Amino acid sequence: MIRVGIIGASGYAGAELARIICNHPEIELTVATSRQYEGKPLSAVFPNLRGKVDIICENPAPEDLAAKADLFFAAVPHKTAMDLVPLLLDGGKKVIDLSADFRLRDVTTYEDWYQPHSSSHLLAEAVYGLPELYRTSIKESRLIANPGCFPTSIILGLAPLLKAGVIVPESIIADSKSGASGAGRSAQTGSLFCEVHDGFRPYKVGRAHRHTPEIEQELSVLAGKDINITFTPHLLPISRGILSTVYATLASKVTSETIQKLYDDQYQNEPFIRLLPEDTFPATQYVRGSNFCDIGFKIDQTTNRIIVMSAIDNVVKGAAGQAVQNMNLMCGFPEETGLLTAPMFP
Amino acid sequence: MIRVGIIGASGYAGAELARIICNHPEIELTVATSRQYEGKPLSAVFPNLRGKVDIICENPAPEDLAAKADLFFAAVPHKTAMDLVPLLLDGGKKVIDLSADFRLRDVTTYEDWYQPHSSSHLLAEAVYGLPELYRTSIKESRLIANPGCFPTSIILGLAPLLKAGVIVPESIIADSKSGASGAGRSAQTGSLFCEVHDGFRPYKVGRAHRHTPEIEQELSVLAGKDINITFTPHLLPISRGILSTVYATLASKVTSETIQKLYDDQYQNEPFIRLLPEDTFPATQYVRGSNFCDIGFKIDQTTNRIIVMSAIDNVVKGAAGQAVQNMNLMCGFPEETGLLTAPMFP
Amino acid sequence: MIRVGIIGASGYAGAELARIICNHPEIELTVATSRQYEGKPLSAVFPNLRGKVDIICENPAPEDLAAKADLFFAAVPHKTAMDLVPLLLDGGKKVIDLSADFRLRDVTTYEDWYQPHSSSHLLAEAVYGLPELYRTSIKESRLIANPGCFPTSIILGLAPLLKAGVIVPESIIADSKSGASGAGRSAQTGSLFCEVHDGFRPYKVGRAHRHTPEIEQELSVLAGKDINITFTPHLLPISRGILSTVYATLASKVTSETIQKLYDDQYQNEPFIRLLPEDTFPATQYVRGSNFCDIGFKIDQTTNRIIVMSAIDNVVKGAAGQAVQNMNLMCGFPEETGLLTAPMFP
Amino acid sequence: MIRVGIIGASGYAGAELARIICNHPEIELTVATSRQYEGKPLSAVFPNLRGKVDIICENPAPEDLAAKADLFFAAVPHKTAMDLVPLLLDGGKKVIDLSADFRLRDVTTYEDWYQPHSSSHLLAEAVYGLPELYRTSIKESRLIANPGCFPTSIILGLAPLLKAGVIVPESIIADSKSGASGAGRSAQTGSLFCEVHDGFRPYKVGRAHRHTPEIEQELSVLAGKDINITFTPHLLPISRGILSTVYATLASKVTSETIQKLYDDQYQNEPFIRLLPEDTFPATQYVRGSNFCDIGFKIDQTTNRIIVMSAIDNVVKGAAGQAVQNMNLMCGFPEETGLLTAPMFP
């Protein structure tokens, strides 16, 4: 039994980690931290967990944390994470960080988009935790940078196409839509029910969202050259789910069959990628509560573009589920352990 | 491995049965029937099941059905069920019927509220499948009448109070609110998104809803005499969930502690009942996707009334989950098998 | 042209006042106050008002306020209102207060439920602003206590029955459900989209909600004696709308026709009450955005109870619309001025 | 007083027409047709209209229709409209057709996307009813083809840019999201609450949606040459609202100020276009229930693209409101008559 800890258990990703962990047969939740709810049962903060999770929230000093578990999920905001992670690694622990602090390999880029980095010496070591691309490295790493939710949906959708060189990298436009849990659980006017319900809006349009450099970093690796994309996030009146509609110009005329084969070749053995049949498109409600990424595409012959659509549950494949998938790899468990529940519909 | 079948797999209860069954370690889904979708993969009807459920919908002749499984979940409408069930029982199979056809023990009552009964000889044998009340009988039965969703929430909420005689049975008023999945998946104007979304309404007010006699039958057993109640269903703009707010006059002055003890005594070992601490009330979003029934109460000293609130997921504890719980009992599996997933929030 | 001011324009009631006022032909909005958004256009806070309302939020000293308009809508929280209102009255202005500060005629009751009252000398003068009951007094008053949203729905539903003595006053149970705008626009975790969406819950159960004494005060007047009721509020995942389902025991056997006549007699000339035909029940989506109160009822002969259902838009008839209706009366305008828009569906 | 008729009053556009018309001071609704609800009050079909609209649905023979009003709104499906319209015109009436039947000027294109056209002789005469582009012609026309909802949002967003030649026409990608009322009120499984709620999906991807040729027709006129675009519709879990996010490559480097001026020059006197300040983006909830089209844009310097975002209420500016705006122009009323209500938020 591996002892695991959740740092920052009072956010939605922390709660989802606890929900997944409580039925995972190989691990035990030994510590859950929260400044705000110290001393309170986590199941009082998230009553869905009542009867399933009986841990009490703690707020230990950073130096006391490492002793409390063998592996940690850091679900705290960026900047907080970068200060904590070295202490845990120095204590001989494995860390899966759900913040952005170790996702960008280039410290300058990080500091351009965020703030000064206190642990930049760890950037070279951190592995970008997208198992479909970095499975081997993840298995051997002690520090995983768990990908952002938007990047997960976009990168998985484009990887086979970029690797095969069938699209023009400079033409990529990602129009992404996310549920409100992506904004976190902090009390902000813009996240109130009445502000989000029965509405829809774009935000941080035009290279303003911090997921942009992360997406570009990984797409550049896949394309074999530095590329920029246009990325527009939108806020959906749903709790969970991201759907990205990604447009790219085809490098040459290709058939749907050729494209389908590229996806099959790369993903057919992936446990959490579901490729959709022709003229079938993904929907957030069909991945809800699961670690699946559903991918469909359509070629628009007239304009010589391909439209790739991918859907994930941002709290699962976009955060907690992917983190557990990474943990399974790091600990030598079967990759799907604890992540087998079928999506919930309706 | 027990072979199970779903008759009527294209409704929401049928789909949820398939979702639960696909991760149940002791059973195998060997047949799923649907007239409308015959020949189509069930996962094409419910794309959430893609990659998890690979069965093709069939439409076998009734007489060919029994051979296809050892136990059947009948998720077809009332009247259809009463004609099918005898064939399955005669074939030596076990049946859990999710319709109303075998819930009412009195055929006259049934025929007053529904239509003539073609299999009334089975009514005496059928066991009302509420494990918290009828566990022993369920284990030995071959025909279970799976309770209605509203009745489940109301009966579980009131059982300890009625048994102990602390409330005036004639004073019971149940104000219940249900999500839209309770109306089923048939294409009706009143169930359209635009008709239900961002709205709320009562329906079938004043002894007009067919769950009334079912609720009264079971509450009468608990009260030890025939009683009538007032029951008002309402339609919530949510997919899943029932919350019943039940009012009753206290038979004499009692304390919260006394009431709490009644609930504890009856339910403390129940795997799917969660009793809430004082001044904590249930919410549908904390049972979503799970087989839990959450119960809270409050005494209004001024008016000498008790308010009991119970929440379930109508598709799970109100239908498919309770059916699997019953199956576990009938087959000798641990009662929680396949039903361990924590509720999904948000 | 009468000059009107909104004190506390940055809440949902304030915004709705601005929305209604901008098309009211007899008045002009001359001041809108907000501490938080001082100096900002109100239409930047509520972009729906762009192009319709061009006022800039101010934060004047209380003593400077009275000069800025002839009539004020106070849409600030209770306690804040009680300090401001005397200054405005002393300045010779009319005031419609949307807080609870002047609704309770008995200062002891007020102080039991809220906090000490700094302007209790005004309680005797304040008129409870429910035009259907107090139209004559409203016309002659300079201080209106605009009713609470839950009380409006419940009192209007019960008034004809209590006046006629056909129900047992002690038997009244009001099960009310409100949209999230009722919780206001302050940034609280419990009001976040993810906490409210796709869910439903009761709150402040059992004489815990501050609207209880207000409802009881008005029902007692109608009943001609002091009565207590049971009132349970619930939170709906909708923005606007209250539906109250109210139960009462009939004092003697009466027919639906008799009851219908009581409603007709009292309400047939009311511009904002819509009585529904037999077996037709109200729904929040049919009053959305309007000042209507829809009322339906059903007699349950078996239990000798009547179920009264009423629906309002809590932001309109439950707040801003009713305030404008009161203003129309106070200023001698036709009562429906500015309130003629039909409800928006879907 | 002009007499107007609604043909097809039982759909959402028909109901919204009735809602707008009931407060329009210059017209009177004299006929509302519905096969399904013949003989029933329209306010029984749409209870929001109770007390505001007292017309009874009729189902007159086509040849009897013309006599019943002076101007008709045809809110029936395409194909039905093309057979009715000539009868009304021959009767000397004005017609605003909300279907697609008279939107495409080229009969071959129409027949490629729809079916044979029975009234193609009227195509040359019909005016595309987008007042911001065709105001003068609309005033003098007797047959208006009221634009589609997606086209309205996209064309208004792009018009100033295409006219000025600042974008590359071939680069246009329109990613559009619509509320569920766009799918109409027919009872279809895919439009059920449980299928749409808490979810999001693309549909008719890749030149599959019939609004494509309509959009291309109008953008080609603006661009001065034939162009093709990529258009992807998505289904939002909201009742009303369309938001289009449109991407285009800039023809040369331009500043935000230049672009802003193009919009100002074209739209500053338009009563229903609201141009948003820099870094402010539209949202469907801020135009809900109104005839406004809100437009914002952002230049992505790195990729040399412009992102234009426009939001409308698809039932109002995308259907009924625009139809009334056209009627106002045709009848010589002030263009905003009956359309002054501010958007409803929340």
HSE value, Cβ hemisphere, 13 Å, CA-based, for D210:
15
The pLDDT tens digits for C137-182 are 999 999 999 999 999 999 999 999 999 999 999 999 999 999 999 9
Say if the Cβ atoms of C241 and B200 lie within 8 Å: yes
Q: For position A293, what pLDDT does the model report? A: 98
Question: Taking CB atoms and an 8 Å cutoff, what residues of chain B touch C309?
Answer: 202, 205
The pLDDT tens digits for B65-90 are 999 999 999 999 999 999 999 999 99
Q: For position D15, what pLDDT does the model report? A: 98
Q: Is residue C139 assigned to a domain? A: no
Quickly count: other Cβ atoms within 10 Å of residue C155's Cβ.
27
Please give the Cα distance from B86 to B126 (Å, whole number): 12
Question: Taking CB atoms and an 8 Å cutoff, what residues of chain B touch A287?
Answer: 48
Write out the DSSP string of D10-76. Answer: TSHHHHHHHHHHTT-TTEEEEEEE-STTTTSBHHHHSGGGTTT--PBPB---HHHHGGG-SEEEE-S
The pLDDT tens digits for B156-182 are 999 999 999 999 999 999 999 999 999
Catalytic residue numbers of D read: 149
| Separation in Å, CA B210 to CA B75, B112, B238 | 17, 10, 22
**Is B207 in the D-facing interface, judged by CB distances under 8 Å?**
no
- The percent of residues in chain D predicted with pLDDT above 70, rounded, is 100
Mutate to test the interface with B, among A22, A46, A48 (most CBs of B within 10 A): A48
CATH number at residue D51: 3.40.50.720
The pLDDT tens digits for B187-216 are 999 999 999 999 999 999 999 999 999 999
CA-nearest residue to C25 within chain D is D340
Question: Taking CB atoms and an 8 Å cutoff, what residues of chain C touch A193?
Answer: 180, 191-193, 195-197, 237, 239
Mutate to test the interface with C, among A37, A181, A186, A192 (most CBs of C within 10 A): A192
CA-nearest residue to C198 within chain D is D198
**Is C70 in the A-facing interface, judged by CB distances under 8 Å?**
no
The pLDDT tens digits for D254-286 are 999 999 999 999 999 999 999 999 999 999 999
- The percent of residues in chain C predicted with pLDDT above 90, rounded, is 100
Say if the Cβ atoms of C48 and D197 lie within 8 Å: no
Tell which C residues from 138 to 177 touch D, by Cβ distance under 8 Å. none
ipTM score for this prediction: 0.97
Please give the Cα distance from A38 to A56 (Å, whole number): 8
Same domain, A175 and A97: no
Same domain, D58 and D175: no
Same domain, A177 and A100: no
**Looking at the partner chain, which of C198, C245, C285 has a beta carbon nearest the beta carbon of B198?**
C285
**Looking at the partner chain, which of A194, A195, A202 has a beta carbon nearest the beta carbon of D245?**
A202
Candidates B319, B316, B313; CA nearest to B339 is: B316
Same domain, A211 and A305: yes
Please give the Cα distance from C334 to D346 (Å, whole number): 27
**Looking at the partner chain, which of B181, B189, B195 has a beta carbon nearest the beta carbon of D194?**
B181
Q: Are A134 and A127 in contact (CB under 8 A)?
A: yes
Q: For position B278, what pLDDT does the model report? A: 92
Average pLDDT for residues C272-299, to the nearest whole number? 98
| Separation in Å, CA C225 to CA B283, C162, C173, C247 | 36, 10, 17, 19
The pLDDT tens digits for A100-137 are 999 999 999 999 999 999 999 999 999 999 999 999 99
Q: For position A219, what pLDDT does the model report? A: 98
With a CB cutoff of 8 Å and minimum separation 6, the contacts of C136 are none
Tell which D residues from 2 to 61 touch A, by Cβ distance under 8 Å. none
Helix axes A149-164, A256-267, angle to 10 degrees: 120
Average pLDDT by stretches of 10, chain A with 346 residues = 97 98 97 98 98 98 96 97 97 98 98 98 98 98 98 98 98 98 97 98 97 98 98 98 98 97 98 97 98 98 98 98 98 97 97
Question: Taking CB atoms and an 8 Å cutoff, what residues of chain C touch D15?
Answer: 345
> Is pTM beyond 0.90 here?
yes
**Is C237 in the A-facing interface, judged by CB distances under 8 Å?**
yes
**Is C302 in the B-facing interface, judged by CB distances under 8 Å?**
yes
Average pLDDT for residues C99-108, to the nearest whole number? 98
CA-nearest residue to B291 within chain A is A48
Tell which C residues from 309 to 338 touch D, by Cβ distance under 8 Å. 315
Q: What is the mean pLDDT of chain D?
A: 98
Say if the Cβ atoms of B51 and A274 lie within 8 Å: yes
Catalytic residue numbers of A read: 149
Same domain, A215 and A276: yes
- Specify burial of residue D5 (Cβ count, 10 A radius: 0-12, 13-18, 19+): buried
Segment holding A217, helix H or strand E: helix A211-223
Question: Taking CB atoms and an 8 Å cutoff, what residues of chain C touch D197?
Answer: 198
B-to-D residue pairs, Cβ atoms closer than 8 angstroms = 60
Same domain, B88 and B232: no
Q: List the chains bordering chain A where 3 or more Cβ pairs fall under 8 Å.
A: B, C, D
Tell me the two tokens of residue B139: 């284990």
One-letter amino acid at A272 equals F
From the centroid of its chain, how far is CA A254? Answer: 31
Same domain, C159 and C305: yes
The number of distinct structural domains making up chain A is 2
Helix axes D321-331, D12-21, angle to 10 degrees: 50
Q: Is residue D328 assigned to a domain? A: no
Q: Is residue D145 assigned to a domain? A: no
CATH number at residue A224: 3.30.360.10
Task: Give residue D135's pLDDT band: very low, low, confident or very high (50, 70, 90).
Answer: very high
Please give the Cα distance from C158 to C173 (Å, whole number): 11
Please give the Cα distance from B22 to B10 (Å, whole number): 16
Q: For position A153, what pLDDT does the model report? A: 98
Question: Taking CB atoms and an 8 Å cutoff, what residues of chain D touch C315?
Answer: 346
**Which domain does D255 fall in, by range?**
150-314
Quickly count: other Cβ atoms within 10 Å of residue D251's Cβ.
15
Say if the Cβ atoms of C193 and A12 lie within 8 Å: no
Say if the Cβ atoms of B239 and D12 lie within 8 Å: no
Please give the Cα distance from C284 to C273 (Å, whole number): 14
Same domain, B23 and B80: yes
**Looking at the partner chain, which of A197, A200, A205 has a beta carbon nearest the beta carbon of D298?**
A205
Average pLDDT for residues C288-314, to the nearest whole number? 98
Same domain, B120 and B189: no
Q: For position B99, what pLDDT does the model report? A: 98
| Separation in Å, CA A319 to CA A17, A74, A124 | 9, 11, 22
Please give the Cα distance from D130 to D266 (Å, whole number): 14
Q: Is residue B130 assigned to a domain? A: no
C-to-D residue pairs, Cβ atoms closer than 8 angstroms = 84
The pLDDT tens digits for D17-31 are 999 999 999 999 999
Question: Taking CB atoms and an 8 Å cutoff, what residues of chain A touch D207?
Answer: 300-302
Same domain, C154 and C121: no
**Is D189 in the A-facing interface, judged by CB distances under 8 Å?**
no
Please give the Cα distance from A104 to A218 (Å, whole number): 9
**Is D209 in the A-facing interface, judged by CB distances under 8 Å?**
no
Say if the Cβ atoms of C195 and B247 lie within 8 Å: no
- The percent of residues in chain C predicted with pLDDT above 70, rounded, is 100
Average pLDDT for residues B321-346, to the nearest whole number? 98
Please give the Cα distance from B136 to D119 (Å, whole number): 73
Q: Is residue C339 assigned to a domain? A: no
Q: For position A6, what pLDDT does the model report? A: 98
Q: For position A245, what pLDDT does the model report? A: 99
Q: For position A82, what pLDDT does the model report? A: 97
Q: Is residue C136 assigned to a domain? A: no
Q: What is the mean pLDDT of chain C?
A: 98
Q: Is residue D207 assigned to a domain? A: yes
**Looking at the partner chain, which of A181, A194, A198 has a beta carbon nearest the beta carbon of C194?**
A181
Question: Taking CB atoms and an 8 Å cutoff, what residues of chain D touch A112?
Answer: none
**Looking at the partner chain, which of A191, A198, A237 has a beta carbon nearest the beta carbon of C192?**
A191
Residue carrying the six token digits 């489940």: B152
Say if the Cβ atoms of D344 and C344 lie within 8 Å: yes
Q: How far is A198 from chain C (nearest CA, A)?
A: 8
Please give the Cα distance from C305 to B236 (Å, whole number): 24
Q: For position C51, what pLDDT does the model report? A: 97
Q: For position D282, what pLDDT does the model report? A: 98
CA-nearest residue to D11 within chain B is B189
Q: For position D311, what pLDDT does the model report? A: 99
**Is A203 in the B-facing interface, judged by CB distances under 8 Å?**
no
Q: For position A230, what pLDDT does the model report? A: 98
**Is B267 in the A-facing interface, judged by CB distances under 8 Å?**
no
Q: For position A131, what pLDDT does the model report? A: 98
The pLDDT tens digits for C194-209 are 999 999 999 999 999 9
Task: Give residue C312's pLDDT band: very low, low, confident or very high (50, 70, 90).
Answer: very high
Q: Is residue A165 assigned to a domain? A: yes
Same domain, A192 and A279: yes
Same domain, C50 and C159: no
**Is C197 in the D-facing interface, judged by CB distances under 8 Å?**
yes
Please list the helix, strand and coil fractions of chain C in percent, rounded to the nearest 5, in that order: 35, 20, 40
One-letter amino acid at D172 equals I
